[in-house]
Structure 1
């Protein structure tokens, strides 16, 4: 029997399965004091295979308890992605006594030599806070006679029309359906033809309302993940559209392509349902991997982790509305400040080096560029392994280079250099979260995000802040580390 080191590369702050394979987050919801994370799961192997819904719960979205598998394959197929809702008013008839949870998911039935694969939408419901599930005897509740890609339902209650709305990935478009009871569905509209990126199949949609910072104005936002197409360099990634929704039709206001994340490793993300109104946050979570190499990453006995949960908002940046994202405030309690950095000048060609140790590390730096043409950080995991973050004010780019970050040779597609365009004016705010096998970079209070896997032997030993062509000043900032 093969033995594995299940702890190597295991994250401290990110959810990862105890063993075997995980991909898309599913059914994110808050109910009765718990956050629920369901996820695509193969319980038999650490590569993709017959899909089940794994299940974990948390009080704060950082520390998770993995529970028993929620949904198993059956005669209708394996259990692909979907969502959960709380049926507060018993519209379904499943909950005559008290509200409960309903899962809306895709059944995927493999094709044969004579027949194509079939994807249909089905229901399951729970009376015990998601611990056990009963599949609806009338499954499937939605099917299509011609569409082969017909999956990943995200469902929410629309107050204005008093109906359930389903956004569904249908090939290269998103189809919107409505229902009074979660059982009987009617097609309302279709979105996506001739707009956005079509570099791969459209997957894992999410539709929700966000508030514009400092204005109170609200807009509807549609997230659409794009599957991996080998002819394009990027692999799988996620785009978004900003616009309006009238209960039937989503209308985009932006024609240009907008990306949720500029790193290689944030895909299939969706938001939590039923976060209490007095909280008010729209919280998002993604799968931290890329289909280009997800089955090859060098963890043993388990594969994949989720991103940190992030609070979403809209911000007007240079007369354009953009989605901004920040790690949830619950993360703060996991770090202890180790070092304050205030009014630190770094001259051209110099660097300041700080020793830092922890299973996870946080860097928060407010940097004033005095006249530098290139500056950044070298995060030394060990003496021979490092990840380099460089800011180039000439090209307005932030670059994360992971070519020396540890184990990188498991796939030729594990590209070394990741770039994102940022606003590199005289002042740049950086927040960097480093875990055992990941780095997440947030720039200018979440205006830009880059998520990347790395596989070093150790999280961090020291960090060097450098300026190679001109001076910079750290106006204020700090380095924190987790205690565990």
Structure 2
């Protein structure tokens, strides 16, 4: 949340180990979303209503500028879940270091129709036109994921609505639901309680079964308290994702200081559990992103917050560099293991785009990427960047595009392929070919890519942020000054690097 000029990040944290368990609400604060100060945990198990766990939730700033946290408490060894609240102990403390859990908790207990062990992660509250507060809690019934709605006049006494805000069959338990308005007219964010004109709403859910997320864009019927996804939005596992890579349990908040909606997610691991224990830590927060509705109204667009640019250092540039099939060019002169790279690729013709196999329509994009990787020569593509590469390419993480002809239209695949990212050969190590399709007009025959490279993370934004992929990778050779960065083309159609700007990135201050 943003409160009195300070950003507060609360996150699930195990102070006793590298893997999940002993969860508390860790707390860090920042003035710019980039440099952070860690504080003592804000919430930890201490009461009868959260003795066995303090799980995820959200913050809401109430009228009178009063922040309140809603969170899921675990009350017994059977993992019975209830919804609790916490308030600051000292409102004059600019960092809100200490939080109180009043004795009238829990606020919400599951009724007989709810699975008490699948009932968690309350959302930021919003106020309806009737002056009543509303929140959602994630749950499931018979594999139907649902966002259960509760209403309250005073934020203390909550009543379950007769029906969920929304549900979807065969999606499994919904975790960390997020529901917020987006403007049809501009990129500015909207307060979660905004109920004016020219808006769509977004419902995002994290899928407990698959460990990835999807979202829909739709209409919020405020009279019936129902959310209706647009017909163009796939309401299920094949739906749009905020990020097609290592990204889970994300939440947005309205930044009233800069009138923007900010997205924060969790980059979960691609390493093994045993490796996590050896490292002593696991999981990081990717760079915060500004989020808005694309002009098409069909999807969201994301971009790293502008404050990230304060870490930019030495810059190198490249322009009008042609790459024929099989060619690559090394980007030198910056610290490529910790860099920000923006590039615009162009091509003269779409004529060499490969046909899109109709049988792929039933596959996830990452399945197609696994078959059509960066080394598989194509027509128009693959072309892009080879990040965190060793000198002789024994290991590298390619981020690239491939253009297919799909009947009378073109289909753009964006990949971030971790399969060659490390020489480690543990059988349990997860090295997927992450991928998503990019809904982009190729009239100008150009595709843009931005990649944030940070030693073990490659966070990429295709076509100005229409498709985003975060890869968690663990190179063994391409580390520190032994890392290399290349732009490449492995397609028959020549590619031109119109412009490439790359910067060495300084360390953020994290203490």
CA distance 1:337–1:412, change in 2 (3 Å): same
Unaligned runs of 5+ in 1: 1-28, 90-98, 230-234
Matched, 1:339 2:316: yes
Local SS of the residue matching 1:393: strand
Unaligned runs of 5+ in 2: 188-196, 350-378, 405-410
Q: CA shift at 1:48, angstroms?
A: 0.8
Counterparts of 1:12-51 in structure 2 under 5 Å?
Answer: 29-51=1-23
Matched, 1:161 2:130: yes
Local SS of the residue matching 2:124: strand
What is the aligned counterpart of 1:142 among 99, 108, 116?
Answer: 108
* Structure 2 match to 1:327: 304
Q: CA shift at 1:390, angstroms?
A: 2.8
* Structure 1 match to 2:148: 175
Q: CA shift at 1:401, angstroms?
A: 1.8
Q: TM-score, normalised by structure 1?
A: 0.83
* Structure 1 match to 2:434: 418
Matched, 1:190 2:164: yes
- Asked whether the equivalents of residues 263 and 288 of structure 2 are also in contact (C-alpha less than 8 Å), the reply is yes
CA distance 1:209–1:441, change in 2 (3 Å): same
What is the aligned counterpart of 1:201 among 173, 187, 193?
Answer: 173
Aligned CA RMSD, in angstroms, stands at 2.5
* Structure 1 match to 2:376: none
Counterparts of 1:75-474 in structure 2 under 5 Å?
Answer: 75-77=48-50, 78-89=53-64, 99-111=65-77, 116-126=78-88, 127=90, 128=93, 129-146=95-112, 147-148=115-116, 149-158=118-127, 160-171=129-140, 172-188=145-161, 189-194=163-168, 198-212=170-184, 217-227=198-208, 229=209, 235-245=210-220, 246=222, 248-254=225-231, 255-257=233-235, 258-273=239-254, 275-276=255-256, 279-289=258-268, 297=276, 300-317=279-296, 321-355=298-332, 356-358=334-336, 360-371=338-349, 373-374=380-381, 375-383=383-391, 384-394=394-404, 396-406=412-422, 408-410=424-426, 412=428, 414-423=430-439, 425=442, 426-457=445-476, 458=479, 461-468=483-490, 469-474=492-497
* Structure 1 match to 2:364: none
Q: Distance in 1 between matches of 2:422 and 2:82?
A: 42
The Cα offsets for residues 80-129 of structure 1, whole Å up to 9 and x where unpaired, read as: 1011122333xxxxxxxxx4321111101343xxxx43100111110334
- Asked whether the equivalents of residues 217 and 230 of structure 2 are also in contact (C-alpha less than 8 Å), the reply is yes
Q: Distance in 1 between matches of 2:402 and 2:326?
A: 15
Q: CA shift at 1:381, angstroms?
A: 3.8
CA distance 1:336–1:346, change in 2 (3 Å): same
- Asked whether the equivalents of residues 267 and 290 of structure 1 are also in contact (C-alpha less than 8 Å), the reply is no
* Structure 1 match to 2:373: none
Structure 1 range deviating more: 73-82 or 201-210: 73-82
Q: CA shift at 1:290, angstroms?
A: 5.7
- Asked whether the equivalents of residues 105 and 121 of structure 1 are also in contact (C-alpha less than 8 Å), the reply is yes
Local SS of the residue matching 1:70: strand
Q: Distance in 2 between matches of 1:299 and 1:364?
A: 35
* Structure 2 match to 1:13: none
CA distance 1:380–1:207, change in 2 (3 Å): closer
- Asked whether the equivalents of residues 294 and 304 of structure 1 are also in contact (C-alpha less than 8 Å), the reply is no
Structure 1 range deviating more: 461-470 or 50-59: 461-470
Q: CA shift at 1:411, angstroms?
A: 5.7
Q: CA shift at 1:444, angstroms?
A: 0.9
- Asked whether the equivalents of residues 439 and 466 of structure 2 are also in contact (C-alpha less than 8 Å), the reply is no
- Asked whether the equivalents of residues 166 and 178 of structure 1 are also in contact (C-alpha less than 8 Å), the reply is yes
CA distance 1:299–1:217, change in 2 (3 Å): farther
